[in-house]
């Protein structure tokens, strides 16, 4: 039986945000895949916001993420979420 420990509000907030932070990278390539036609056609140049972290640039950069790097990050995210949900049920 797992031992229960005290969870502070700061720790709980961190635990709740960690999966989001871990998944952010893997979601960028998924977003890029959804807008692949837009990027390949060059129509992403017509989007108004073209600053460093704007979506058009995220789509372009994500085209360079190889699938072999994407799969392990997706698997880690899913594994972590499964573990976190199981542990949160014990609180």
Residue ranges of domains in the chain: 23-90
Taking the C-alpha atoms of residue 81 and residue 84, their distance in angstroms, rounded to an integer, is: 5
Element (H, E) at 26: helix 9-34
- The residue with greater pLDDT, 33 or 18, is 33
- The residue with greater pLDDT, 38 or 4, is 38
Summarised one tens digit per residue, pLDDT across range 29-79 is 778 888 889 888 999 899 888 888 888 888 888 888 776 666 666 777 777
| Phi and psi based region of residue 3 (left: phi greater than 0; alpha: psi -120 to 50; beta: remaining) | beta
């Amino acid at each position: 039986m797992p031992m229960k420990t005290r969870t502070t509000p700061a720790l709980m907030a961190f635990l709740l945000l960690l999966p989001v932070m871990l998944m952010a990278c893997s979601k960028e390539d998924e977003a890029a895949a959804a807008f692949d036609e837009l990027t390949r056609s060059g129509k992403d140049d017509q989007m108004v916001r073209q600053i460093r972290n704007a979506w058009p640039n995220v789509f372009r950069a994500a085209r360079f993420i190889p699938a072999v790097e994407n799969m392990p990050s997706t698997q880690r995210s899913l594994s972590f979420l499964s573990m976190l949900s199981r542990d949160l049920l014990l609180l």
